[in-house]
Amino acid sequence: MQISKKHAFSKPPADVIRLIENFGVDGDAHAGAADQHLYHIRRFGHRPNLRQVHLIQTELFDELSGKGHRVRPGDLGENVSTRNIDLLGLPTGTRLRLGPEAVIELTGLRNPCHQIETFQPGLLKHVVKPKPTGLVRRAGVMSIVLKGGDVRPGDPIEVELPPLPHEPLIYRVPELELRISTIRREAEGIHSLELRALDDGILPPFTAGSHIDLLLAPNLTRSYSLSNDPQQRDRYVVSVMKDPGSRGGSRHVHEDLRVSDRIRINPPRNNFKLDETAQHTVLIAGGIGITPLMAMIHRLGSQGLSWQLFYAAKNRAAAAFLDELQHLESLRPGRVRLHFGAEANGARLDLAAIVSAAPAFSHFYCCGPQPMIAAFEEATVALPRSQIHVEHFARKGAPATAGGFEIRLHRSKLTLKVGRGSTILETLLAARIDVPHSCKEGVCGSCKVRVLEGLPDHRDQVLSPDEHARNDQMITCCSGTKTPSLVLDL
């Protein structure tokens, strides 16, 4: 059993939320159990599970309270907001102990879920635009209540994983169709795209460091970091640099996309998470690597946390978000350090000096071209790995293509041979196993799968050293095996 204690609730209410053993409660904005039951049968043709409790990462409670509505915990249903736990990454059957008493078990995906606005008219219209059907979409996961109890803001959560083989909570992240509301020239060769819901409604939440996959064309999916404030629930902003060596992604974004175009995406995922418990955060970016760090700056600022940014670009014209960064520097001199190679005779950032000058126990984040990443890893080699966070643009080494082994697919009941010159992902796709994928370089994490048996040969830049050591998951586009076979949860 693996236990992870994280703090629950980004919401500030001081009252108690009572988890109960059935669906409807007095005063809750959902329908009562009978009405919900009948509605579900009419719409979907089968009986609903009336012992569901929803965990959602939204700020609905805060938004309504901030608009002067007198809402109490429980008034919006059994909704729990968590912090620092990737619920969608946990398998079905995971049990969460909320506070000292309540125990719930994750059962499935809640994206989209439909809250029935018509049973308490007008409450939700202050947050999301009403739909003609009276339904409101919400993202998150579902669970059943195994044991009721009082849950207070700030209570820890204990995570208990089920025994192997895990049954994944989610295999396919539901796609969203958005529209391009704005395209802005951010810098020389860099365009920012603002994406909004077709109905201008609320989008699934994201955390600082997250990225989304743009499904640009058949067999052309690319991952781009979100740069806007995670508190903004009405838009996603990605910034894309046109790469002279583009394999099609950045060129398509720059040359083919137009304002008002519709585009499909996979909702946000985060392989570059911000640790908000750090006493001080040092952000280091090169070129387009500033993108995820901008979202971190927004989050650190909104939480009143200590941070400093070092941003390098070849010249001012190539520096994204330059006006915004200069404004931040003017508010507190010394917080933002800009470095331009053209103005420094080609000299690079002295990363060793930056690391040595940072306060003790600082957390360091770096995103940029490979030479910067290599220098950063050398400069931080003596520090605890828990304080070092890196996001790569491209693979660091060669993928595993030796072949000569087999993969057994637990759910599909198939056995596939991986031939010489092929990766596991290529073998899966050739067998028409629909595995999500994007970069094919081991840096985005889209093709991650659970490993039930065997020892992977990890070649990715996504999983942490601890995750590599556990050998219970792998990135299939680049990693291989150290054993004659692997059993994958597919």
pLDDT at site 47 = 46
284 forms beta bridges with: 310, 366
User: Bridge partners of 285?
Assistant: 311, 367
According to DSSP, the β-strands at 473-475 and 95-98 are unpaired
Compute the C-alpha angle 78/229/258, nearest 5°.
Answer: 110
Taking the C-alpha atoms of residue 39 and residue 56, their distance in angstroms, rounded to an integer, is 22
Instruction: Give pLDDT tens digits for 131-153.
Output: 444 333 344 566 666 777 777 76
pLDDT band at 94 (very low <50, low <70, confident <90, very high): confident
User: What pLDDT digit, counting tens, does each position of 203-250 carry?
Assistant: 888 899 999 989 998 878 888 999 999 999 899 999 999 987 767 789
pTM score of the predicted model: 0.63
Summarised one tens digit per residue, pLDDT across range 396-421 is 778 888 999 999 998 788 999 999 99
From residue 28, how far is each of 23, 24, 39, 60, 419 by CA, in Å?
Answer: 10, 7, 17, 14, 57
Query: Is pLDDT of 327 > 70?
Result: yes
Give pLDDT, residue 122. 41
Q: Does residue 50 have a pLDDT over 70?
A: no
Position 465 scores a pLDDT of 82
Q: Quick one: residue 209, left, alpha or beta (phi over 0 = left, psi -120 to 50 = alpha)?
A: left
Predicted local distance difference test score (pLDDT) of residue 116: 35
Quote the pLDDT of residue 75: 47
**Peptide bond connecting 163 to the previous residue in cis, omega within 30 degrees of 0:** no
Q: What's the rounded Cα separation, in Å, for the pair 321 and 347?
A: 22
Burial of 190 (0-12, 13-18, 19+ CB in 10 A): buried
At residue 11, the pLDDT reads: 39
Among 134-138, 390-394, 475-479, the range scoring the smallest mean pLDDT is: 134-138
Tokens of residue 158, six digits: 């204990």
pLDDT at position 103 is 80
34: pLDDT strictly greater than 80: no
428-463 tens-digit pLDDT: 999 988 777 777 888 887 788 889 899 999 998 888
Q: How confident is the model at residue 165 (pLDDT cuts 50, 70, 90)?
A: low
**Over the stretch 295-313, which tens digit does the pLDDT of each residue have?**
999 999 999 999 999 999 9
